[in-house]
Amino acid sequence: MDHEADAYRTDLMTITRFVLNEQSKYPESRGDFTILLSNIVLGCKFVCSAVNKAGLAKLIGLAGETNIQGEEQKKLDVLSNDVFVKALVSSGRTSVLVSEEDEEATFVESSKRGKYCVVFDPLDGSSNIDCGVSIGTIFGIYTMNHSDEPTTEDVLKPGSEMVAAGYCMYGSSCMLVLSTGTGVHGFTLDPSLGEFILTHPDIKIPKNGNIYSVNEGNAQNWDGPTTKYVEKCKFPKDGSPAKSLRYVGSMVADVHRTLLYGGIFLYPADKKSPNGKLRVLYEVFPMSFLMEQAGGQAFTGKKRALDLVPEKIHERSPIFLGSYDDVEEIKALYAMEETKN
């Protein structure tokens, strides 16, 4: 990369400019998506700033404790949720919101409704906040069904029907990765400008990788195909080198690395959690959408992840996602298991 040239670049492709360019390809488009996205971007900037200050904030009072005015301080994940819900409602472009933080879906009041539904996890990996490890926001966007009143049916649809998905990672830099169904593009927040700038156009995941990412602490409860796959990663019998294990325990960070370097991320079912841990609507679907758009695959152990039809808004599913060839291998192991039974 030519860093010197980069430092003096003056023609900056901001995320808003990028989406406006995309939108201009559709003459019928009225800018609703651009407005929705700019409200999501606002939420991400807010959370980024709050996460950066989280360590310092401890000097003036821990989250969950009372501040100087005697008010209880909100935890970062609750605060992030409030910010996203308010930004999405005030966009005037949403009708149904499903957040990891809220048990029930939010139905936007009729005067503020729009054609989109947003499913999101405002601060995923929040158990990592206190040690400064990368965490993120994950989101997926559907359009409303053609009914007058919004219902949960507007979001209980296969992931393949999402019109866009993305995540924002709050790490050593703040990066927003987005797909509107025409490839995957990464934007890095320039803190001095307060703008997300296109830094990773058209991300393609390598066809195979040498990293696997899984919580091996659950290995004693895994099923046969997962156990065999991980065994193969560590002790390959075909002369190929063993894969490296990398696991942060923060989905955005683990998936981001998988997307850029290749390899596979697994959160399988196990005896204790027969449906795995991760949530279909706002973890499994958005990440699977991005993986497919980048040339990879996402599989549940039974089918293509994006073909799942969730019955409940907080439903869980096992997930294997990443490089095309690596996911192909685990699919073959599950197919073999099925023919045995």
**251/222 Cα distance (integer angstroms):** 19
CB of 215 to ligand AFP, least distance (A): 3
Closest CB 51 distance from ligand AFP, rounded Å: 13
Residue from 55, 191, 249, 274 binding ligand AFP (CB under 6 A): 249
Task: Tell me how far, at minimum, the Cβ of 128 lies from ligand AFP, in Å.
Answer: 6
Site for ligand AFP contains 275 (CB under 6 A): no
127 binds ligand AFP (CB under 6 A): yes
- Between 160 and 215, name the residue whose CB sits nearer to ligand AFP: 215
How many residues of this chain bind ligand AFP (CB under 6 A)?
11
**Torsions phi, psi for 294 (to 5 deg):** -95, 5
Cα-Cα end-to-end distance for the chain: 53
Tokens of 77: 């994940």
Residue of 119, 115, 134, 37 whose CA lies nearest to 81? 119
Q: Please, what is the minimum distance in Å from the beta carbon of residue 307 to ligand AFP?
A: 22
- Which is closer to ligand AFP, CB of 150 or CB of 159? 159
d(CA 158, CA 160): 5
- Piece in contact with ligand AFP (CB under 6 A), picked from 38-46, 118-126, 199-207, 295-303: 118-126
DSSP state of 14: B
Question: Which pair of structure tokens corresponds to residue 286?
Answer: 């958005």
CB 120 within 8 A of CB 166: no
Quick check: 317 binds ligand AFP (CB under 6 A)? no
User: What are the b/e assignments for 13-41, b being 16+ CB within 10 Å?
Assistant: bbbeebbeebbeeeeeeeebbbbbbebbb
Burial of 121 (0-12, 13-18, 19+ CB in 10 A): buried
Q: Which of residues 141-160 bind ligand AFP (CB under 6 A)?
A: none
> From CA 245, how far away is CA 125, in angstroms rounded?
19
Site stretch for ligand AFP (CB under 6 A), options 126-134, 219-227, 294-302, 317-325: 126-134
Among 250, 258, 297, 323, binds ligand AFP (CB under 6 A): 250
> What is the rounded CA–CA span in Å between residue 75 and residue 174?
20
Q: Which stretch binds ligand AFP (CB under 6 A): 62-70, 146-154, 170-178, 246-254?
A: 246-254
> Near ligand AFP by CB under 6 A, which window of 55-63, 152-160, 245-253, 256-264?
245-253
Confirm if 303 and 272 have CB atoms less than 8 A apart: no
For 327, what's the count of Cα atoms within 13 Å in the CB-facing half-sphere? 30
Give the nearer residue to ligand AFP in terms of CB position, either 110 or 127.
127
Instruction: Measure the CA–CA gap between 284 and 160, rounded to whole angstroms.
Output: 12
Which part of the chain contacts ligand AFP (CB under 6 A), choosing from 32-40, 123-131, 184-192, 308-316?
A: 123-131
Neighbours of 115 (CB within 10 A): 16
Binding mask 43-82 for ligand AFP (x = CB under 6 A): ----------------------------------------
Single-letter code of the amino acid located at 224: G
Of 75, 121, 131, nearest to 282 by C-alpha is 121
* Per-position x/- string for 211-240, each x denoting binding to ligand AFP as judged by CB under 6 A, each - no binding: ----x-------------------------
Q: Shortest approach of ligand AFP to residue 273 CB, angstroms?
A: 9
Residue 272 Cβ, how far from ligand AFP at the closest point, in Å? 10
For residue 145, the minimal CB distance to ligand AFP (Å) is 29
When asked if residue 124 is in the footprint of ligand AFP (CB under 6 A), the reply is yes
Give contact residues for ligand AFP (rule: CB under 6 A): 124-128, 215, 249-251, 254, 277
